[in-house]
Amino acid sequence: MSDILSKLSAAIIEGDFGSTPEMAETALEEGLDAGEILNQGLMPGMDHVGVEFKAGNMFVPEVLRSARSMQAAMDIIRPLLAETGIDQTGKVIIGTVKGDLHDIGKNLVGMMCEGAGFEIIDLGKDVEPDAFVEAVKEHSPNILGMSALLTTTMRAMEQTIKALEEAGIRDSVKVMIGGAPVTKSFAEKIGADGYAANAASASDMAKEFAA
């Protein structure tokens, strides 16, 4: 790995979002392409963050800083990735379900998945089942991720899966769910394909589904 890519990975792990755009620019000036910067600089950094987060050695504020650092570098290389036609890992639609206005966990999942090489379509919060369905029809994602932080809004996940079934597109996408009150047994009960306890686990699951 080149020296600048090693430094970029380290800056992401440290959450040094002030320096990562300049490092990405430097890597481009040194002749590295956007795919190399993503695959050999950004993704190894976020992979390390995910491992440390799951192990309890990093916490949400630190992971958010790392994700922000990755995002800052992605802002530099994203247009070039599109131009060069680099194959991304897959496509993920995410959103917080109808009636729920919490989005920190959902945002973190999006950042971790983008750090793993996915294209992210973030529908935001308070997303109606029909809006999820229309987004799946429009974007043909590999994965649909739904978040809920309230027990009262969890049922919207089941409603969304039923809406996907009624639209005849349930089998076209893997559905994973998460959030504080959500459990693996609830995911199984409503017919989701998977449950992730945190953003790092969600990223790992997304990679398994896209493989």
What is the predicted pLDDT for the residue at 115?
A: 84
Kindly list the domain boundaries of the chain, sorted by start residue. 3-84, 90-210
**70 within 8 A of 24, measured Cβ to Cβ:** no
Predicted structure pTM score: 0.84
Identical fold for domains 3-84 and 90-210, yes or no, is no
SS (H, E, C) 116-154: CCEEEEECCCCECHHHHHHHHHHHCCCEEEEECCCCCCC
With bands split at pLDDT 50, 70 and 90, how would you rate the model's confidence at 168?
very high
Q: Options 3.40.50.360, 3.40.50.280, 3.40.50.720, 3.40.1080.10; which CATH number does 90-210 get?
A: 3.40.50.280
Name which CATH class applies to 3-84. Answer: mainly alpha
**124 within 8 A of 96, measured Cβ to Cβ:** yes
Each residue's pLDDT tens digit, 192-204: 999 999 988 999 9
Percentage of the chain surpassing pLDDT 90? 80
What is the predicted pLDDT for the residue at 117?
A: 86
How far apart CA 184 and CA 25 sit, in angstroms, is 42
Each residue's pLDDT tens digit, 92-124: 999 999 999 999 889 989 988 988 889 999 999
Each residue's pLDDT tens digit, 1-30: 589 999 999 999 999 999 999 999 999 999
How far apart CA 59 and CA 53 sit, in angstroms, is 6
Instruction: Tell me what the mean pLDDT of segment 64-88 comes to.
Output: 84
Each residue's pLDDT tens digit, 48-64: 998 999 899 999 899 98
Q: Chain-wide mean pLDDT for the chain?
A: 93
What is the predicted pLDDT for the residue at 157?
A: 98
**203 within 8 A of 211, measured Cβ to Cβ:** no
Percentage of the chain surpassing pLDDT 70? 97
Assess whether pLDDT exceeds 90 at residue 84. Answer: no
Q: Which residue has the higher pLDDT, 211 or 206?
A: 206
What is the predicted pLDDT for the residue at 2?
A: 83
With bands split at pLDDT 50, 70 and 90, how would you rate the model's confidence at 164?
very high
Instruction: Tell me what the mean pLDDT of segment 166-180 comes to.
Output: 97
Assess whether pLDDT exceeds 80 at residue 87. Answer: no
